[in-house]
A and B are shown apart, each in its own frame.
Chain A
Amino acid sequence: MIARCAAAFAIFLAVMSSSPGLRGADDNDAKRKSLEFFESRVRPVLVEHCQKCHGPDKQWAGLRLDNRASLIDGGESGPAVTLDDVSQSLILKAVRHDPDASPMPPEGKLTPAQIADLETWIRDGLAFPEGAKVGGLPKPDPNHWSFQPPTDPEVPSVRDTAWVRTGVDAFILSELEKKGIVPAPEADRRTLIRRVTFDLTGLPPEPKDIEAFLADERPDAWNRVVDRLLASTAYGEHWGRHWLDVARYADSNGLDENVAHGNAWKYRDYVVQSFNDDVPYSQFLAEQLAGDLLPAEDRQTRERQLIATGFLSLGPKVIAEVDEKKMQMDIIDEQLDTLGRAFLGMTFGCARCHDHKFDPVSTADYYGLAGILISTRSMESFVKVAKWYENPLPTPESEAAKAAWEQQVTAKKSEIEQFIAAADAKVRETLPEGAPAPEKLETKYPEETTKALKELRDGLAKLEKAIPEVPTAMGVSEARVSDVPIHIRGSHLKLGDVIPRRVPTNMRGPETPEFSQSQSGRLELARWLTDPRHPLTARVLANRVWRWHFGRGLVASTDNFGTLGDHPTHPELLDWLAHRLLEDNWSIKALHRRLVLSSTYRQSTEVSPATLAADLDNRLWSRFNVRRLSAEEVRDSVLATGGLLDRTAGGPVLTVPNRGYLFDHTSKDLTRYDSPRRAIYLPVIRNNVYDFFQLLDYPDPAVANGDRSSTTIAPQALMMLNSDLVMDAAAGLAKRLADEGERDDAAKLDRAYQLAYGRSPTPSEAQQQLAFLEAARRTVSETAGSEQAVDPWSILCQVLLASNEFIYVN
């Protein structure tokens, strides 16, 4: 934990120092090793034990230990380091507690290993990163492209103006023309409708929609297809899922104690609905960070906004952590890391322990942000096994139920009182005149009265327990507003200066907001992020949307816009898109149209040798990339083609109660993935992701991820050949073909191709498949024995579902 970024840093240094120079390779190597040694063994000691008094802020005895020159120059007692007589260096004498030096550090002696490390470091030449001060080095580049406010570039002029349909095309074509590349021709309509239907809805096009598009001769036929798809509920189910990747959505905690996020589905449904409603991204962002602090006109809005804050709550937590303070800071770290990646493409995690080595995020920035989250209530209790907080979401029904219940309780109570009064009166009647009444008349009740009273009381107890449940949703609320001290090297046991709540200050753009003393500051954070002048928010989103359409971002590292991230292939296009996003009031659907209606998007995947030579990796978008369907698309289209997909939307998915264990000490897997509903409505169980998805590169739901990979491994093939899901769907497709009426094999084959591939088979394909069908019939009858005979059509249908043409989109 302490320095989880240092490996990256060491490599960075290695790269820096191994660049060709005048010195020989060995010198470079030695220098690199010394620097690595400094970074791993010396810098932590200097920062933790020396710098507070001998650093940039204070220079006790005139001594500063944060750069090489100051060490050699020394302070009032002379040089701290004597390179010609290393062991007599003042700094070593001090840490060794030699009698002729002041013992340092004052709070206690360093370990022998630390002292030895200091000596080794000095002996090896006192390596310091060049031009470096110990605090934050090497200097992060404040001029890094992504920290500058986006420009609003002119749309470039191009020679082939006819190709330009949206502004996107001008930027793309202008680069292609500079390289003498001709864009790929427009894909045919069958390819296009298959491409865009999967892209916008995650489902294959229906044969009737294909035919309608092919027959539509109006000039805006393509726009109409896009509009229809954007208006479908399937759109939100598919694009909402993209966002859930970024929100590291899961229906269970994962990590150490895998308990159920029983109400997480409300956040999932909120996301789907927000995409379908085209909620402006600025509002979507603000609701997720600070929905509880936003005004709400009505109960539904209020509820939606509270559910949205589930974004902050959904992270994996080590809830059996024994050290509660550490747990709290770990949770905040996870929240910061996620919101940093999701909204800014920044890795804040590094700054927990040290100033970010590459990006302008200091430890103070980190703890300034941490103050916002420590002032936010994310947890109900930190006592292991800890519980996350959930906002109550009372409904008229739940309120009515509660009122009815309260009435029943009151009625029951008064019934008991009346009963006691009557029984007491009877007892008093039996008492002799003038005798003092016993304190508890109940002791004198006859047996049947006692029994009846007990029954009444038991009834009350039972009623009181049956308090009607008020619905709740994972989310956050406000806690006591407070600021956080710097945790030195990330440790909550070593605290430094308290940092007032703030946002990172080194990014160019909107000024740092004033933080309210009566609120956590999440609202101010959200407003700062969605300020049109913010350099990152709109760019990061525009790039994400580009990535999800085109398979690779204009900035390939979608979640890292820092100096270690990739540079944009088309910086002006990215800025132009960011500006249009603002102009369109953060409408994501408007952004889709800019991209999908372009000629760039409509290119075919074909590539000429000349283009391949000039743009091997398609960095210039000289064609469309062939794409393997995502895990969810594979599953949903297998089921849809087999006629088995249930399109019911939304709602809970778990069989385990909220906070119940998915796995305790046992390994019994109670999670069911055999629901026929769309993939987004299957449970997402951390530590045990549905194997069908996991094999197809579903991302780890513990970490924000806007850039899924796509690998090809043999176990995927086993799954397509042997899983019940695929075989059931194949049987389903065979049944569908049979149910559609008495037709010959050729007609059935044609229909199967329409359903699976959106086209008819070529004559040679048909011939080949029908020959296979005959062979399959023969083999089945030859091998038929103990087992139930297999339907040869279902064998053929499985071939279609498992084939490349089904799994890949052009």
Chain B
Amino acid sequence: MLIEKILNHISNWGKVWFGLIFLGSIFNATFEKISLLSDMPYISVFAFGSGALIGFLAKMRGAWL
């Protein structure tokens, strides 16, 4: 069943997706507002990469905090 598959996926990988998309977007928007960082090349890659990394660490730990 599709919903069951989605729920399983969220249960297993939800933290990584949340890190990549949610935290990544927040970091990216914040970096853009900081003039010192906004001109740096690949800043978006760094922002979304950091988000994904935090999400991945949370998945490994089984908890965010």
Task: Tell whether A pairs with B.
Answer: no
Which residues of A are at the interface with B, using a C-beta cutoff of 8 A?
Answer: none
B residues with a Cβ closer than 8 A to A are: none
